[in-house]
Amino acid sequence: MSWLTSVLAIWAAVGPLAGVLIGHYLSTRWQRKLWLLDRRKEEFRELLSTLTRSFTTICTKRQYMLPQSPEDQMALHEAESNALMTIKDRIFIAADVKRLDIYKLWNSAINEYNRDHVYIPFSEKYALINAKIVDAANEKV
């Protein structure tokens, strides 16, 4: 009987501590998972916002029949650069961006628009990129 009493006495002292440690581990793990999901969401949102701003700037500033002011040329260059830089500098969603081939799709859309000066294919490619990003952002939720 004394053996069982000793085990129960030890468990009474160690059990709550073990429970606290296990609870802390599980809580920390869950908080990290939520933190990573929040960072992914932020990066997806920033990517989508930058591409949308760039798309809008390119569509409004690039007028092929009219000469472009130096300010418009600067805005176009900045819009294209910001989009490409934002695609490339993702950390938490880098694998998704690579898997979806966002850089290649965006670069192709820009080059085609600069070459052909046709809005509809550019807007269709933008819509495809947008849909892929939104789908990827909602995958792990």
The HSE-up count of residue 1 (CA atoms within 13 Å, CB side) is 0
The HSE-up count of residue 41 (CA atoms within 13 Å, CB side) is 9
pTM value is 0.80
State the pLDDT confidence band at 141, using cuts at 50, 70 and 90: low
C-alpha 110: how far from its chain's center?
A: 21
Separation between Cα atoms, residue 119 and residue 137, nearest integer Å: 27
The amino acid sitting at 132 is K
pLDDT per position as a tens digit, 6-18? 767 777 777 776 6
pLDDT per position as a tens digit, 48-70? 999 999 999 999 888 776 778 88
Separation between Cα atoms, residue 58 and residue 119, nearest integer Å: 10
